[in-house]
Amino acid sequence: MSLVLIALLPFIGAILPALMIRAGRNACALTAGSVTLTSLILLLSYAPAVFGGEVIQARFEWLPGLGLNANFFLDGLGFFFALLILGIGLLIIVYARFYLSKQDPMGLFYVYLLLFQGAMVGITLSDNILLLLIFWELTSLSSFLLIGYWKHLPEGRQGARMALMVTGSGGMAMIAGMLILGNIAGSYDLTVILQSGEAIKASPLYLPALLLILGGAFTKSAQFPFHFWLPHAMAAPTPVSAYLHSATMVKAGVFLMARMWPALAGTPEWFYIVATAGLVTMIVGAWISIFKDDLKGLLAFSTVSQLGLMTMLLGFGTPMAALAAVFHILNHATFKAALFMTAGIVDHEVGTRDAKRLGGLVTLMPITATIAMIAAASSAGLPLFNGFLSKEMMLYEASHTYYLGQEWILPVLATVGAVFSVAYSARYAIHVFLGKERHDYPSHPHDPPFGMWAPAGLLVVLVVAIGLLPQAIAGPLVQVASNAVTNGTAPVVDIKIWHGVNAALIMSMIALALGLLLLWRYGTFVALRQRFPRPEAKDIFDRLVDRTAAAATFVTDGLQNGSLQRYLATMVATMILVGAAGFFGGSHGAGTRATLPISPLGLIGWLLLVAACLTLVFFHHRRLLTLILVGVIGLIVSLGFFYFAAPDLALTQISVEVVTVILLLLALNFLPKQTPVAEFAPRRWRDAVLAGLAGLGVAGLTLAITTRDFFAGSISEFHLANSYPGGGGTNVVNVILVDFRGFDTYGEIIVLGIAALAIFALLESSLHGKASKRLANWVPETARAFDSHPLLLVVASRALLPFALLVGIFIFLRGHNEPGGGFIAGLVVSIALIIQYMASGFQWAHARVRVDYHAVIGLGVLVAGLTGVAAWIAERPFLTSDFTYVSLPVVGTFEVATAMAFDVGVFLTVVGAVMLALANLSRIGRLAETGGGSHPIASQH
């Protein structure tokens, strides 16, 4: 459990700085520091086990169905990285306390930092690649927040966006790669994947998986040609740069390559892709770095170059090279974090970090200068500092690795990289701190407070200590980490300062000499560089983004021009095409099922339907006629249901029909009564063709299905067989609704209720604003009846009400065994009530309604839901049939009662929903009738 806490603590603790900032900046930094320190102590408590070669695991099932488990493990590599992340994180927290100014929201800074830290530690400890991917994306997101921390700076925002876009899209590729990898290995657990290296490398999907995963690693680790985002991320505050680009963010890609080393490395593909990318990145990054005047830009490109070095070493694919990579990761983290911190100090104290405006700072800020020069010496690879040792290892590995069958290529290019790295490191030390003292600084430079230089100081102490006593201090750590990288094939670590005169030492010395020479003739080289084209990656990137956005806009605007008619036509046409492709793409014959003979009644119904449809289409400009025809069509449909042995549907359809027509009538009252002819003839023909094809398709589909038997029988056999013994009802349709598929019905009444509430909201708010003015000034188009509420209708409807309600109750009660039920009863009762509104007017009816229709809807859903919940009492799933927990062999009264309870819920919801919609429409009507003032008030009854 405490293993998981190491990763989770920063996430949990991330809330604390936001709260503690109220207690002051020190308290804020202190809390952030304690959170990190706790994690670090937890990690260190595992040190004895890890150094003893153990792998600690913590496993939690999360979504086992997807193979996604919250599995964590801690081996040498995870320990090594987590130590760097938490250790340097702690130093950065101290440093940032002094670096951030009073205007910066410090609480927010530490929140982001801890989130980022948690995500990074999560990556290093994940044992499940899906979990790892989640943490991976979290680092992209949280680093976005960190890089864009200074929101007011456009560079900050652009840099953050670019970093997110590049690393985010790399992450996408990696997800795909990881899924392939998981498929090959048959598990998403890293411990399994790392053991199945042979199977993975033999798989035909090895190369795609490799490319996709490297896509993620290269973007994150800023490998050429994705290196361009890293320098732009320098717009972040320096503590962020120091953290992200020394020990964490960019190292995540290197970590991933090291983690996947046993599974993926050792093939020619791996060697040529990874080693080449690393080599190119190392040389290009170092070359550009020499000419950067912005100190952070210089360090950014040097980071790119150093990452290239590590990638190249991992790419070599030999255990010894992997060991060298691990050692260099450690050394680079120490000296690069220190370098960034000193760059931040210079910027903070001098007011500029432009190398051209700096010089001679050694006398003004001696402590900072000492720290910076030691770190730079290590970066250059000067003997007695830790950078020398791992660079020596790199040169040694390069000196005996063949590239394209040639022995000389790698040693020469590696030396070139080393020359450049000597040059930029020396430039950082010499051009900034040595030389003549200047007096034209923006502010008066002096050493910063202790808290600001101490973290960097501690790091250079490590630089020197490892440089002098490598085996004693770093040996065991490098040993366990490289054992983990290489699956235990790493050689025994024995780091020595002096190996005698060998190829590596000679290459080192050449690099040192040439690098210093290069800096001595700096002006010449600047001029030389000016002659060559220097493509600006940011411009290319921006252009690419702009073009993509323009293409997307073009497509979107073409499809989405705001015309509903066009969307619908496109959708219908697409459906026709897809259907036609399916139809013509397969083979099919006529159906074999015996058809029913055509009855005269059926033929009459069909003729009526076709006539009604044709009339409707041809006379659709006359809206009232259209409405009447819709009523006719609805009636024929319900008769059709009745004819084809579906009495429940017939009852539902006919009552819905009444309600729908009333509703449309009420709405039409306020809409224009005529549809103007707007479309030109070609458009109408196009629509007619689309409509005809769509109709043809649906007719063909219906015919094809109804003239074939069930492919494998109908699942309704179950429903028919169990309706009575299982659900206690003989009307199978009703039993399905309230029992077998009760959850569906439950969802559906909720939808109905929501629709009614939306209607209420639309109508209620139309009583204000523009809509209400229009309503108040509304003048009816057609002549009004002299008596809007005829006495005969009023009397008849009131006399009928009790009978109508009785019919509703009757239909409800018989529903479980004979056609009827909650839906139909609800509609019948609604009709009975709405007739009162129509006959006697809104005001009269409204005054007599003592229930709130909203409450009726809510009550209905509640009753139905509680009936479902009641099943839990008997420890059954939601909405389980009552019958299952009453052990009566035959129909008992109990289960009928609970099934009815659910149906009561349905009934109430239907009544509430229909009444809420219709009553509010008539309310609008009342406003319109009375609002103008020139018309008699509607309800004098």
Partner 1 sequence: MEYLLASGVGVLTAAGVYMILRGRSFPVVIGMALLSYAVNVLLFSMGRLTIDRPPVLLLELDNYTDPLPQALVLTAIVISFGMTALIVVLALRSFLESGSDHVDGETAEGGTRE
Interface of this chain with partner 1, residues 731 to 750, rule: CB under 8 A? 731-734, 736-737, 741, 744-745, 748
**CA atoms 401, 402, 406, 410: torsion sign:** negative
What is the C-alpha to C-alpha distance for residues 394 and 323, in angstroms, rounded to an integer? 10
Question: Which listed residue (153, 464, 473, 627) binds partner 1 by CB under 8 A?
Answer: 627
Residue with tokens 């000499």: 513
- Per CB under 8 A, the list member of 205, 413, 630, 859 interacting with partner 1 is 630
Asked whether position 864 contacts partner 1 by CB under 8 A, the answer is no
Closer to partner 1 at the Cβ: 121 or 756?
756
Instruction: Residue 656: count other Cβ atoms within 10 Å of its Cβ.
Output: 18
CA dihedral 582, 583, 585, 591 (to 10 degrees): 120
Query: CB of 686 within 8 A of CB of 941?
Result: no
- Binders in 139-178 for partner 1, by CB under 8 A: none
Radius of gyration of the chain (CA): 39
User: Which of 696, 847 has the CB closer to partner 1?
Assistant: 696
Which residue from 702, 809, 866, 888 is in contact with partner 1, where contact means CB under 8 A?
702
* Residue 856: closest CA among 812, 912, 906: 912
Binding segment (CB under 8 A) for partner 1, from list 151-159, 262-270, 498-506, 814-822? 814-822
891 binds partner 1 (CB under 8 A): no
Show contacts with partner 1 in window 568-587 (CB under 8 A): 568-569, 572
Decide if residue 660 touches partner 1 (CB under 8 A): yes
Instruction: Give the residue with the Cβ less far from partner 1, 12 or 703.
Output: 703
* Closest alpha carbon to 757 in 829, 867, 832, 855: 855
Least distance in angstroms from the C-beta of 585 to partner 1: 21
Q: Which one of residues 266, 475, 602, 932 is an interface residue with partner 1 (CB under 8 A)?
A: 602
Contact region with partner 1 (CB under 8 A), list: 168-176, 187-195, 393-401, 618-626: 618-626
Rounded distance between C-alpha atoms, residue 381 and residue 313, angstroms: 16
Which residues is 622 bridged to in the sheet? 674
Compute the least distance from the CB of residue 765 to partner 1, in Å.
8
Instruction: Quote the CA–CA distance of 593 and 707 in Å, as a whole number.
Output: 5
- Closest contact distance (angstroms) between CB of 935 and partner 1 is 16
Residue among 523 and 769 whose Cβ is closer to partner 1: 769
Q: Cis check for the bond before 225: say yes or no (omega within 30 of 0).
A: yes
Q: How are beta strands 61-63 and 56-58 bridged, if at all?
A: unpaired
Residue 707 C-beta-side C-alpha neighbours within 13 Å: 13
Closer CB to partner 1, 763 or 804, in the complex: 763
In the complex, what is the shortest distance from the CB of residue 37 to partner 1, in angstroms, rounded to a whole number?
Answer: 58
The answer to whether residue 931 forms part of the interface with partner 1 (CB under 8 A) is no
Is 926 buried (19+), middle (13-18) or exposed (0-12) by CB count in 10 A? middle
For residues 239 and 343, what is the distance between their CA atoms, to the nearest angstrom? 10
Does 696 help bind partner 1 (rule: CB under 8 A)? Answer: yes
Stretch in the footprint of partner 1 (CB under 8 A) among 16-24, 48-56, 162-170, 563-571: 563-571
Q: Is 705 a binder of partner 1 (CB under 8 A)?
A: yes
> Binding of partner 1 at residue 562 (CB under 8 A)?
yes
Nearest 5°: CA angle at 189, between 187 and 194? 95
Q: Minimum CB separation from partner 1 for residue 873, in Å?
A: 27
Does the protein bind partner 1 through residue 239 (CB under 8 A)?
A: no
User: Least distance to partner 1 from the beta carbon of 804, Å?
Assistant: 19
Residue 759 found at the interface with partner 1 (CB under 8 A): yes
Chain residues 773-802 in contact with partner 1, contact rule CB under 8 A: 774-775
**Interface stretch with partner 1, choices 132-140, 301-309, 426-434, 913-921 (CB under 8 A):** 913-921
**Residues constituting the chain:** 941
Rank residues 553 and 599 by Cβ distance to partner 1 and give the closer one.
599
Q: Which one among 917, 919, 922, 929 touches partner 1, defined by CB under 8 A?
A: 917
Q: Of the candidates 817, 880, 884, 939, which one interacts with partner 1 according to CB under 8 A?
A: 817
Q: Which of 377, 921, 922, 938 binds partner 1 (CB under 8 A)?
A: 921
Instruction: Determine contact, residues 93/28, Cβ cutoff 8 Å.
Output: no
Q: Should residue 685 be labelled a site residue for partner 1 when binding is judged by CB under 8 A? A: no
Among 26, 560, 714, 940, binds partner 1 (CB under 8 A): 714
Q: Left (φ > 0), alpha (ψ -120 to 50) or beta: where does 237 sit?
A: beta
552 versus 689: smaller Cβ distance to partner 1: 689
Q: Of the candidates 420, 182, 395, which has an alpha carbon nearest to the alpha carbon of residue 284?
A: 420
Cα 924–chain centre separation: 44
Which of 468, 469, 688, 866 contacts partner 1 by CB under 8 A?
688
Q: Is 612 helix (H, G, I), strand (E, B) or coil?
A: helix
The residue among 367 and 767 lying less far from partner 1, judged by its C-beta, is 767
Binding string, 482-521, against partner 1, x = CB under 8 A? ----------------------------------------
Separation CA 450–CA 97 (nearest Å): 12
Cβ-count burial 596-616 (b if 16+ within 10 Å, e if not)? eeeeeeeeebeeebeebeeeb
- List the one residue from 5, 134, 506, 763 that touches partner 1 (CB under 8 A): 763
Nearer to partner 1, 236 or 654 (CB): 654
Q: In the bound complex, what is the minimum distance in angstroms from residue 217's beta carbon to partner 1?
A: 49
Question: Which of 3, 173, 300, 616 forms a contact with partner 1 (CB under 8 A)?
Answer: 616
Using CB under 8 A, which of 151, 521, 593, 798 touches partner 1?
593
Q: Is the bond leading into 877 cis (omega within 30 degrees of zero)?
A: no
Q: What is the spatial distance between Cα 318 and Cα 400, in angstroms, rounded to a whole number? A: 11
- Interacting residue with partner 1 among 288, 485, 507, 913 (CB under 8 A): 913
- Using CB under 8 A, which residues numbered 663 to 682 contact partner 1? 663-664, 667-668, 670-672, 675-676, 678-679
722 sits near partner 1 (criterion: CB under 8 A): no
Assess 352 for contact with partner 1 (CB under 8 A).
no
Q: Which residues pair with 63 in a beta bridge?
A: 68
823 is a site residue for partner 1 (CB under 8 A) = yes
625 makes contact with partner 1 (CB under 8 A): no
Task: Point out which span in 24-32, 256-264, 457-465, 696-704 binds partner 1 (CB under 8 A).
Answer: 696-704
Q: Which stretch binds partner 1 (CB under 8 A): 142-150, 424-432, 457-465, 683-691?
A: 683-691
C-alpha 227/C-alpha 504 separation (Å) is: 28
* CA dist., res. 192 & res. 372, Å (int): 44
Q: Which of 841, 847, 849 is nearest to 941 (CA)?
A: 841
**What's the rounded Cα separation, in Å, for the pair 449 and 443?**
16
Kindly state the smallest distance separating residue 837's Cβ from partner 1, in Å.
15
CB atoms closer than 10 angstroms to residue 4: 17
186 binds partner 1 (CB under 8 A): no
User: Smallest gap, in angstroms, from Cβ of residue 846 to partner 1?
Assistant: 19
Which of 60, 402, 710, 743 touches partner 1 by CB under 8 A? Answer: 710
* Helix H or strand E encompassing 73: strand 72-74
Half-sphere exposure of 592 (CA within 13 A, CB side): 5
The letter for the amino acid at 542 is D
The neighbour count for residue 110, using CB atoms within 10 Å, is 30
Residues within window 634-653 making contact with partner 1, judged by CB under 8 A: 634, 637, 640-641, 643-649, 652-653
Find the helix or strand (DSSP H, E) in which 58 lies: strand 56-58
Q: What is the DSSP letter of 736?
A: I
Q: Say if CB 730 and CB 818 are below 8 A apart.
A: yes
- What lies within 8 Å, CB to CB, of 523 at 6+ separation is none
Among the listed residues 613, 886, 891, 901, the single contact to partner 1 using CB under 8 A? 613
